[in-house]
């Protein structure tokens, strides 16, 4: 029975091109996520540079994260990320976030929630082997705001703290 359910789950994910999951970060803190396959026909593209240095720099008129400069399209995109703390639910911005990791699933070790004096910061790390980036969201006064989306090494310090 378990094998049948697993096969049905895998088939439905292949059919619809998406994966979903939940990660328990703490006793009453859950991260709910969704990743969808990248559909080239649903997006517009802009290239930068010239000749052999030409690369895909914008998707839907926005800089994007998830692959080093090149001409490849992303494999998938992070389309949903909600943080539930107790009964509060926070929708976290995921625009411009592609190729969250190699497997197409998000794992607990990609996140760290830190409580400060009057607010919390959710840190995240994303990489599929190339195009590593980090995102940070500030949760304060019942609202969540993405404050960092960057490839810059200075924003990865949270991983060693």
Instruction: Report the 10 Å Cβ neighbour count for 148.
Output: 17
Range of the domain at 99: 14-160
Query: How would DSSP label each residue in 14-29?
Result: HHHTEEEEEEEEETTE
**3 falls within a domain:** no
Q: Number of folded domains in the chain?
A: 1
Q: What is the pLDDT of residues 65-101, one digit of tens each?
A: 998 878 899 999 999 999 999 999 999 999 999 999 8
**88 falls within a domain:** yes
Q: What is the pLDDT of residues 136-149, one digit of tens each?
A: 999 999 999 999 99
Q: How far apart are CA 45 and CA 64, in angstroms?
A: 11
């Amino acid at each position: 029975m378990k094998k049948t359910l697993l096969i049905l789950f895998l088939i439905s994910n292949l059919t619809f091109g998406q994966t979903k999951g939940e990660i328990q970060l703490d006793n009453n803190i859950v991260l709910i996520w969704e990743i969808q396959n990248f559909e080239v026909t649903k997006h517009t593209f802009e290239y930068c540079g010239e000749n052999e240095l030409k690369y895909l720099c914008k998707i839907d008129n926005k800089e994007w994260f998830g692959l080093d400069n090149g001409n490849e399209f992303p494999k998938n995109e992070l389309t949903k990320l909600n943080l539930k703390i107790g009964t509060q639910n926070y929708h976290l911005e995921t625009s411009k976030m592609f190729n969250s990791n190699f497997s197409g699933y998000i794992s607990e070790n990609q996140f760290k929630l830190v409580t400060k004096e009057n607010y919390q910061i959710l840190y995240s790390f994303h990489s599929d082997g190339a195009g590593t980036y980090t995102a940070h969201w500030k949760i304060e006064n019942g609202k969540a705001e993405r404050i960092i989306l960057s490839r810059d090494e200075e924003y990865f310090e949270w991983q060693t703290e």
